[in-house]
Amino acid sequence: MDTATFLKQLASLPGYKGQVVHVEHLPARKARYGQLERPLPGPLQSALKRVGAERLYSHQAQAINAARRGQHLILATGTASGKTLAYNVPVLEAIVADRNARALYLFPTKALAQDQLRSLAALTEGDVRSIRFGTYDGDTPQAARSRLRREASILLTNPDMLHVGILPNHNLWAGFFANLRFVVVDEAHVYRGVFGSHVANVLRRLWRVCARYGAAPQIIACSATIANPGEHLHRLAGIEPVVIDDDGAPASARDFVLWNPPFVDAARTARRSANIEAARLLAQLVQSGVRTIAFSRARRVAELILLYARRILQDQAPALVDRIRAYRAGYRPEQRREIEHGLRAGGNLLGVTATSALELGIDIGDLDASLLVGYPGTIASLWQQAGRAGRGTRQALSLLIAQDNPLDQYFMRHPRDLFGRPHEHALIDPSNPYVLEQHLPCAAHESPLSRGAEEGEVAPVFQESWGARASPRRALPGGRRGGRAVASRARAPRTPGASLPTGLAAGDDEDLFGPGFVSAMVTLEDSGRLIYQGDRWYAPAGSYPAEDVSLRALAGSRVALLNAADGFRIMEEIEATSALFRVHPGAIYLHQGESFVVRELDLDIGHAILEPAQVNHYTQPREINDVRIVRSLAHKQFDGATTYLGTLRVTQQVIGYRRIQQFREEVLSVVDLDLPSQTFETVGVWWDVPEAIIQQVRRRRLDLAGGLHAMEHAAIGLLPLFAMCDRWDIGGLSTPRHPDTEAAQVFIYDAFPGGVGIAEKGFELVADLWRATHDAVRDCPCEDGCPSCIQSPKCGSNNEPLDKQAAILILAELLKRS
């Protein structure tokens, strides 16, 4: 599409007030090709020719060569770079050579698995038609499940089904696991935070089950471009992979527009809603016949944009109202398939508002434009979302519509930092005690847990598969064998090619599951969730622990949303941990552009009752928290300003919500609630503000509490610059006098029990965080503070007190000491 013409058209519209602040032209990139170390079998050569892939891009050839050598690998390249082919080719080649060989494909969503099923079907026509494969997930009929267990050479599933349906019933899959040659982990960058920490433990459980049946599968992973692909896969799967990250695929030309909504007041303290801007742009693009996807970070926002855009089209082009839809997690399978079909060639949809559910590699045809409503949180997601438009040689348009927060506004003022920015680190913590304590009973249910074999003996579970010699047995406290006294141990000889996950060679579950295993086992045994007998730990008879563990939340329970106007049928389900924030009494919940008001929330029963509502507002929760220091784990000295990393005990509570008018985004009212608090331990970073800086603040008659509070808000908003996280993944507290230290301090912590590595990254790069925070607050054009710099939508104290000048002074003085 002609970007210049379209932007001129936008500039002529009544609502245009100079929103375009930067246009980055990204030229087209030519393909680079590579060679295989040996030719492919004839049937596979024919298959590649049939799908138009006679020549392999350089990264595809490198990946296939590494896979054929038996190496674990991770392929980290851009959107639409042909990563799927890089694992399908070696897998199909192995199955053609050995019809008993099996492969397990893991995708983060059911929709992606369905999409890749179609790609695999296209590749296996003709001479390789006889290879059996299929998806195994919650939508798979029972009859098909039995057939897949018996016949499938390639099984496409997701970590959730592997966790709750396959591993606990591994005896039904004995033939599959005994012949498992490959495990493919697609979209590995998605496995970060709590979800990634859960999946890391599921993979460790998978390795134990494979070992039980004598299999040592090779791992092939694919990822978007991130800063640490090799380290990430090592933490995720416990192996040392080959990293292939030099992208040889071609790319279409793209114009990337930074769009900053205009101020709505003379004091320049608030900007027009990004949701409204996105709806107007979406409506304009659709009316121009431009197939468009609009990404947002929350389900509610995707639904709001759909609602707004449909209202605009109802006035301007009524025939197009039904040609835009929303797509997000929570919809029924048939709804998702219908929307996916409507976006492909010949489909009736011109636009879709979506969450990250469509960020991944689902084939949705050729789109011309992508709207990113707010910075998506990571550079990886930015390019994944932008890359959903303009596939092939078609020129594309991408627009990043800034929200009124410190991070988005930082990029609006520093576009070079956005387009030249290195990718962030993916962060997970498989040893998070809250996660580990959920998966160890699952592992014990699948096969009893142990801490290694006697000296000179191999643990029975691992002996047949690895042919390993075991480590010396160590003494446990209390007379049990297997403690921590010996620092080194004998390692199993490694077979050529892929190396073994840590701990498998010796049958030592402590090594496999890592730090925290011992303390978790003590807790689980004391609570009766594990039973110790004969040097092993067992799950209680009759238990099925996996069904109580959700991979996408720290607590396993879920809340069903019931539509009172439709016979109390389940509309969708959400995690119980987020229910108090999303479906508290009085909350407005959006589903396919329709508004529902929450009448009742019962966490004990696990349901919320909703009714359709004709309202002109939505709601936003308000929360407060309290932070106490449990222990300090590390510290840094900066000329009197000490920064700490440690364990914190956090108590948080939803105390009410704001009713915000649609379109105008004005706060209509503030409602108080009396809801239960939640307490958990997590990891945090905090720093002292030296007395000398405090005195400077007072001499200038600035507000110390307001300055600390402003710094806390802004630092939380900017921390995602350095870690793959969202500001909603982070909590904070500031105080002129904390009761545990009697000092002025600012706390920032992982908003997940046990932590997932965000605070550690903040501690490591604290001086960089201070610098980015200082620059963002200083450069904001407002006078006294606004949502673009120091105000937070989460703040339970109504963003009071805040002092922008005090925050700038404190940060400047901290930087002098760093």
User: Beta partners for 649?
Assistant: 628, 681
Give the whole-angstrom CA distance, residue 53 versus residue 92.
15
Amino acid at 217: P
Residue 425 C-alpha from the chain's centroid: 12
Rounded to an integer, the average pLDDT of 614-640 is 92
Task: Please list the residue range(s) of the chain that carry CATH number 3.40.50.300.
Answer: 3-27+252-265+276-402, 33-244
Nearest-angstrom CA–CA distance, 579 and 743: 35
User: Sign (positive/negative) of CA torsion 177, 183, 185, 191?
Assistant: positive
> Residue 767's closest CA among 577, 676, 659, 638?
638
Q: What is the pLDDT of residue 799?
A: 87
Q: Is 448 helix (H, G, I), strand (E, B) or coil?
A: coil
pLDDT of residue 750 exceeding 90, the answer is: yes
pLDDT tens-digit series, residues 211-251: 999 999 999 999 988 889 999 999 999 999 999 999 999 98
Q: What is the per-residue pLDDT across 40-82, written as a single tens digit (0 to 9) for each?
A: 999 899 999 999 999 999 999 999 999 999 999 999 998 889 9
Query: What whole-number distance in Å separates Cα of residue 95 and Cα of residue 97?
Result: 5
Q: Say how far apart CA 797 and CA 705 lie, in whole Å.
A: 13
The amino acid that residue 591 corresponds to is H
What stretches of 14-106 show up as alpha helix (H) in DSSP? 42-50, 58-68, 83-97
Q: At what angle do helices 83-97 and 110-123 cross, to 10 degrees?
A: 60
Q: Please tell me the predicted confidence (pLDDT) of residue 771.
A: 96
Burial class for 639, CB neighbours closer than 10 Å (0-12, 13-18, 19+) = exposed
pTM higher than the cut 0.85: no
Mean pLDDT of 449-472: 44
Q: What share of the chain is helix, strand, coil (3-state, %, to 5)?
A: 40, 25, 40
Q: Which residues, including other chains, have CB under 8 Å from residue 636's CB and lie 6 or more apart? A: 642, 643, 763, 766
Q: What is the pLDDT of residue 576?
A: 79
- Of 8-17, 526-535, 553-562, 666-675, the range with the lowest mean pLDDT is 553-562
pLDDT band at 735 (very low <50, low <70, confident <90, very high): very high
- pLDDT beyond 70 at 458: no
Residue 568: which region, alpha, beta or left (left: phi > 0; alpha: psi -120 to 50)?
A: left
Residue 269 has a pLDDT of 73
pLDDT for 274 beyond 90: yes
Average pLDDT over residues 363-376: 85
Question: For residues 152 and 133, is the Cβ–Cβ distance under 8 A?
Answer: yes
Q: Mean pLDDT throughout 389-393? A: 73
| Residue 599 clears pLDDT 50, i.e. is over it | yes
Give the sign of the dihedral formed by CA 286, CA 290, CA 291, CA 294: negative
Looking at per-residue pLDDT, the higher value among 122 and 702 belongs to: 702
Looking at the predicted structure, is the pLDDT value of residue 408 above 70?
yes
Assigned fold of 33-244: Rossmann fold (3.40.50)
Q: What is the largest CA-CA distance in the chain?
A: 82
The whole-number pLDDT of residue 502 equals 54
Model confidence at 523: pLDDT above 70:
yes
Query: Which numeric CATH code is attached to 3-27+252-265+276-402?
Result: 3.40.50.300
Question: Model confidence over 184-196: pLDDT tens digits?
Answer: 999 999 999 889 9
| Residue 677: partners with Cβ closer than 8 Å, 6 or more residues away | 651, 652, 653
Cα 378 versus chain centre, distance: 10
Q: What does the mean pLDDT of the chain come to?
A: 87
Query: CA 498 to CA 66: how far, in whole Å?
Result: 10
Identify the band that residue 1 occupies on the pLDDT scale cut at 50, 70 and 90: low
Averaged pLDDT, 664-689: 91
